[in-house]
A and B are shown apart, each in its own frame.
Chain A
Amino acid sequence: MKVSRRWLEAFLRRPLDTRDVVERLVMLGAPVDAVTPLHAELGDVVIGLVEEVRPHPNADRLRLCVVDAGGPTSRQVVCGASNVEVGRKYPFAPVGASLPGGIKLERRKIRGESSEGMLCSMRELGLGDEHEGIMTLDTEAAPGSSFLAALGLEDDRFELDVSPMRPDLLGHKGVARELAAAYQTTFRLPEIPGAKIVYPVVPPATGSTGAVGGVTVTIEPGAACARFTGAVIRGVKIGRSPDWLRQRLEAVGQRSLSNVVDATNYVMLELGQPLHAYDVARIAGPALIVRRSAPGERLVTLDNVERGLPEGTTVVADAAGISGIGGVMGGLASEVSEATTDIFLEAAWWHPGPLRQARKALGILTEASQRFERGTDLWGLPDALRRCIDIVLATAGGVLDQELLDLWPEPANPPRIFVRTARVAQVLGVELPVAELERCLLAVGATVVSKPGEGRLAVDAPGWRPDLREEIDLIEEIGRIHGYQSFPDELRPFRAGNQTDAPSEVAATAVRRHLVAEGLYEAILLAVGPEDSPARQVRVLNPISSEHGFLRGSLLPGLIRQTESNWANQVRDIRLFEIGTVFRPGGMDGRPEESTHIGAVISGARSPAHWSDGGATPDCDHWDLKGLFERTVSLANPLASMQVDEGGWIARMPDGRQVGRAAPLRADAPPWAAPLFGLEVEIDPAPRETPRYQRLPAVPAATRDLALLLREGVAVADVEALVRDTAGELLETVRVVDEYRGKGLPEGRRSVALRLVLRGRDRTLRDAEVDEAIKRVLATLGKALDVTVRTA
């Protein structure tokens, strides 16, 4: 919402300091996003009085003017305009002044005569399109005084960030009310220059059909219109609006169109009530019917677009067809034009919900619909209509049909709300005197009746505050007007909550810290992305783009994309992980199934290059990946076990469900890139078992290295398992320490060295016991897997 400081000053009858206004509005809950000083570029322009006009000696079309611009001496100006007269005042830009468009005036000679400034046209000042002549001023201001001040153009435009809950702030009156509360002062409507106050008769509102000035109006059942007021003014003269009206509108960025249209816009910007003006001559009937649209009905709206209306849209129609979408936009056919003499003014109340649905379906957002869908003042319609009538009569003339129309099929009073003083104290945490509660509520425009005996106040909410419906709404207003800055901020005693940390978060945190310790960087990527695995991903119905049309079912595709963009940045060493949610179709109550995964990718050097490597730091390989996978699985999903699977590894739960995988990854890699490896593991949210201390060994261990020959096809994992099984409880660890293939071995065999550590429970093992165990192991290995001992 754009707000003019001068307009607010007209309400409050006092000058306002821009900085202070911004501060006050912020502290009342209406932050100001921006302040624009208006016409600041005209600050150098002054009032110039033309004292003398002579012909230019060397040019027929130019004249020499002597201008009093306030200095000790008058200045000579060469001027091409023909409308300059002696004794009149004009805007004068002296040498050194800047004008809109970045023009800077310099002293110069025009056909031999010096010119010390410029008399300006409206267009040169950026005030309009008029450029035929110099802008003639009708002002008492002294020569040399500020042009902006003399014309009342000096102003600041505030850009207010208005909450959707506060439609009253979409009009200057609402903002003025807030400031009046802040300054603890009063406010009233600005005067309309030249207005003769008329007192039209407003008959008691009733019924759903009636007539005014020969126009009959009907609200049909089912139409989303609660109240409809109207007036007819005959004999208006459509034309240019007076300066005060133009200036107010332009100050808030609203283009001036014509006096009647400007009058309706003015009232909307002042009171927050949009109005619509119809040309009576172009209303067929003349009758207006507020009804729901029938299937297939169409309308050309004011913006000259033909629109098909969704069935059931509330419209205003005449005998010939639809003439406007109620509360959204009028139709071109009944628009006021230069030829218009009789107008019908409409001020109505449209139901926010249906109106919002209609305008969304139509894809239109207008100043009017913006206000109606937030809720306008149902009880303020006659006042808004009268205000508009005053302005039309003052600016376009004409005669008002004395009786207004007010259709209100089901009249109602503003809601009455009871506020308990004890509840106010309970919620706000401080006990405020009843007088302060009353002051705060009166400031927002409520009617208050204190009932001290009952410990409560009876409050009638103002019509312009549809957000005030129950006690808590009023408590909020009390806190707001009393001022949040006035509340204490000392910590009071509290009880701890009943909740404990979510186990899934605890598990994720442990895995996250581990991956960092492994030297990987955490990334947070978008869970909405392209389709990676057709039919297994959840589709977004209204994606921001086709690149974000699906929920991820796995973390690796996103990590691979990030790897590729790192490669595009010439980064070769990549170590990224992410802990995030993945989605699968078909969970509870229609929602997708969600689980938390850890995904990681590694590529490039195993460690930072060091000179001692001679520039040949090895790249990460399968074994780096496998190690990382093993450690990650044991933390993320301790019950899972690993197995080899198609060039990589997978992790399975005891019930066979796969919960993780690790493998070399295919990606769009530049030739210099190292191989890419990735892993992904589901994080089990179940609480982890706490490790238990076991007595540390008190006796030395015996170590034996076995050089074994394995046939092709025999897996070390099987050998290891068998060693564990047969060595018995003496075996502490078994580890692969070497592998050799090639010369000196029997055909089809490789050599694998295992290091076994054996230890007795309470005593040092004798050599013979160890030898016995090793013999048993070798015998079993030979029998079961055809493993033999390598002899040198």
Chain B
Amino acid sequence: MIDPTGYPQLDALLPRLAAIGKLDAAALHAERIAVLGRKQGALTFALRALPTFTPEERKRFGAEANRLKEAFEAGFAAREAELAAVTASAGRTALDLSMPGRGRWLGALHPVTRVVDEIVEIFRELGFAVAVGPEAETEWYNFGALNFPADHPALDMHDTLYLEVRQSGGAAVRQGERDEGRVLLRTHTSPVQIRVMQAGPPPYRVVIPGMVYRNDPWDASHAPAFAQIEGLAVDEGISLVDLKATLTHFARRFFAPATKVRFRPSYFPFTEPSGELDVECQICHGSGCPACKQTGWMELLGCGMVHPKVLENCGVDAERYTGWAFGLGPGRSAQQRYGIPDIRLLYGGDMRFLHQVAGQAPA
């Protein structure tokens, strides 16, 4: 509240100044314009009397008008702050902030894709690029070029799905046994090794993800199609030591730095020497449990030095260049990692399953 100014034009506004404290938000806004508005405001209107005063009077009147204007501004600001505080406290009681927030659908990569991405990532650090190739192959690419002996029990481990070949004219042609041109669904990603090596000169350093096919039943532990990832490194001076070192490094990046790793001999037609890499069972960590059949180990991958005949089949000088290759099942790694007992869950489209293994809360 301020003292009267002694000018009736100004003092007439004093009751309005006193009334500010009772205005609501809308009236406050209107009153601010009604008093201080640049064109129609009451104070502005009062100032129109200014030219009628003497120069000294003008000065005094101006000072009083300014004092009144500041008082109004302060009054409006105080009332505004008061109203804002009331609104805020009113809001606090009305909003139950424990009510659920608004969601949106989240997607997720397939667990196998996640595993493949991780593996690819590790091998990229080691100078590898990603290669892919056809899923329907000829017998030569799938077996012959990879040094599989014809009519040998080694083929029994690759129960193969053969495809009908239609030649021009549309007639179905069924090709005979041991025909290198016979068309099949690749039983492993290894034919892509051949295609990579045919495409250019060494050094080769590629990882090859993809689906492979077997004439296997569709049950809890078998699928007629499943994911595989393969790697190939060929250059001068590459040896079994590089193979063991690189894959041991990979295994420890993929699991944990101190993971126990076991490299043991095996036999594959397209690698020699061949091996398999086991890592300590990720469930019992070596003490033995049903998941690892009490051995304390899990098979991770098969590998070996590329057979000289495979290099020669691709026109690579096998005396000058040596190399290694490996292959593993990212599906099996995913099953182990997420504890998935049935492979059919993996190669199906159950929303509940995909949601769960993505680690998302129930929607």
Taking Cβ atoms with an 8 Å cutoff, the residues of A that contact B are 26-29, 31, 33-34, 163-166, 352-353, 356-357, 370, 373-374, 426-430, 467, 472-473, 475-476, 479-480, 484-485, 487-492, 494-502, 504-506, 512-513, 515-528, 538-545, 548, 551, 558-559, 562-563, 565-566, 569, 571, 573-578, 580-581, 583, 585-587, 589-592, 594, 607-608, 610-612
Contact = CB atoms under 8 A, between A and B. Distances in A.
Given A29-B267, A487-B244, A491-B249, A580 B203 contact: no
A559 B347 contact: no
Contacts of A29: 264-267
A353 to B, nearest CB: 4
A498 B354 contact: no
A428 B266 contact: no
B107 A498 contact: no
5 contacts: A518-B107, A574-B351, A575-B107, A591-B163, A594-B135
A498 B235 CA distance: 10
Interface of B: 99-100, 102-110, 112-113, 126-132, 134-138, 150-154, 156-157, 161-167, 172, 174, 177, 181, 183, 185, 196, 200-206, 209, 211, 213, 215-218, 223-225, 227, 233, 235, 237-242, 244-246, 248-249, 262-267, 269, 272-275, 293, 305, 307-308, 322, 346-352, 354-355, 358, 363
Given A163-B267, A356-B153, A571 B107 contact: no
Contacts of A427: 239-240, 273, 305, 322
A575 B105 contact: yes
Contacts of A527: 135, 211, 213, 225
Nearest to B264: A27
A501 B239 contact: no
Contacts of B167: 590
A576 B138 CA distance: 33
A373 B164 CA distance: 29
B196 to A, nearest CB: 7
A505 B133 CA distance: 10
B107 A515 contact: yes
Given A426-B239, A479-B273, A495-B205, 16 more contacts: A164-B154, A352-B152, A484-B244, A485-B264, A494-B235, A494-B238, A519-B105, A520-B105, A521-B107, A522-B354, A539-B164, A540-B185, A542-B162, A565-B350, A576-B354, A586-B166
Contacts of A559: 349
A163 B262 CA distance: 19
Given A502-B130, A590-B183, A544 B136 contact: no
Given A164-B152, A484-B244, A512-B113, A591 B206 contact: no
A429 B267 CA distance: 19
B141 to A, nearest CB: 10
Nearest to B124: A501
A571 B351 CA distance: 8
Contacts of B305: 427
B244 to A, nearest CB: 5
A499 B248 CA distance: 23
A500 B265 contact: no
B181 A576 contact: no
Contacts of A512: 109, 113
A495 B127 contact: yes
Nearest to A607: B104
B109 A541 contact: no
Contacts, number: 306
Contacts of A490: 241, 245
A500 B349 contact: no
Given A164-B154, A524-B227, A499 B196 contact: yes
Nearest 6 Cβ contacts at the A-B interface: A429-B239, A497-B205, A562-B349, A519-B105, A429-B241, A29-B265
B177 to A, nearest CB: 8
Q: Find the residue from A473, A499, A545 having the highest chain B CB count within 10 A.
A: A499
A78 B132 CA distance: 76
A373 B153 CA distance: 7
Contact of B235 (A495, A519, A542): A495
A525 B204 CA distance: 31
A764 B151 CA distance: 81
A590 B204 contact: no
A489 B130 contact: no
Nearest to A480: B265
A551 B130 contact: no
Contact of A591 (B130, B156, B183, B245): B183
Contacts of B152: 164, 352-353, 356, 373
Contact of B358 (A476, A521, A548): A521
Nearest to A472: B272
B351 A590 contact: no
A95 B237 CA distance: 70
Contacts of B348: 523, 525, 562, 565
Given A494-B233, A521-B108, A522-B108, A592 B163 contact: yes
B31 to A, nearest CB: 34
B213 A528 contact: yes
Given A164-B153, A164-B156, A592 B273 contact: no
Nearest to A541: B162
A501 B208 CA distance: 10
A165 B134 CA distance: 29
Contact of A480 (B131, B211, B273, B351): B273
A501 B130 contact: yes
B225 A528 contact: yes
A539 B184 CA distance: 11
Contact of A499 (B205, B241, B293): B205
B361 to A, nearest CB: 10
Nearest to B205: A497
A465 to B, nearest CB: 12
A580 B112 CA distance: 13
Given A538-B136, A539-B164, A541-B164, A494 B127 contact: yes
Given A27-B265, A484-B263, A544-B216, A526 B349 contact: no
Given A164-B153, A498-B201, A541-B174, A523 B354 contact: yes
Contacts of B135: 527, 581, 583, 594
Contacts of A590: 138, 165, 167, 181, 183
B161 A522 contact: no
Given A26-B264, A519-B106, A589 B131 contact: no
A482 to B, nearest CB: 10
Contacts of B154: 164-165
A467 B153 CA distance: 12
Nearest to B167: A590
A426 B138 CA distance: 33
A209 to B, nearest CB: 28
Given A526-B347, A562-B348, A516 B174 contact: no
B240 A487 contact: yes
A496 B205 CA distance: 7
A589 B138 contact: yes
Contacts of B166: 585-586
A618 B275 CA distance: 57
